[in-house]
């Protein structure tokens, strides 16, 4: 079962300015979760979902896709957020 994203803006962007945000093993926002992807995960996401090279993709574009996809697998932490419509690419937010 999946759910629509019904979270406050802080859930997506975090409570600190994005310029100061660092990767984390337990990200607390969608932005931080995307920022925390490994280089291999980022490359696969860029090439397979967006059809671009990793250096040509930015976090804001991925967040826009998350908002358009509007799907999560669960509502309890960690929340599994879908990046693509099929749920192949996901991130966890704690």
Could you list the mean pLDDT of each consecutive 10-residue stretch along the chain, which spans 94 residues? Answer: 95 95 98 98 98 98 98 97 97 98
Strand-pair partners of 72: 3, 81
Quote the longest CA-to-CA distance of the chain. Answer: 35
Place of tokens 């693509």: 84
The CA distance from 63 to 24, in Å, is 17
Four-CA torsion 78, 83, 87, 90, nearest 10 degrees: -40
pTM value is: 0.95
Res 1: pLDDT? 86
């Amino acid at each position: 079962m999946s759910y629509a994203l019904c979270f406050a803006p802080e859930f997506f962007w975090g409570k600190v300015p994005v310029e100061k945000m660092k990767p984390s093993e337990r990200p607390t926002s969608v932005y931080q979760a995307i920022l925390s992807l490994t280089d291999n995960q980022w490359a696969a996401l860029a090439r397979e979902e967006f059809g671009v090279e990793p250096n040509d993709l930015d976090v804001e574009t991925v967040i826009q896709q998350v908002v358009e996809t509007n799907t999560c697998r669960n509502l309890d932490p960690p929340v599994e957020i879908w990046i693509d419509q099929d749920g192949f690419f996901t991130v966890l937010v704690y």
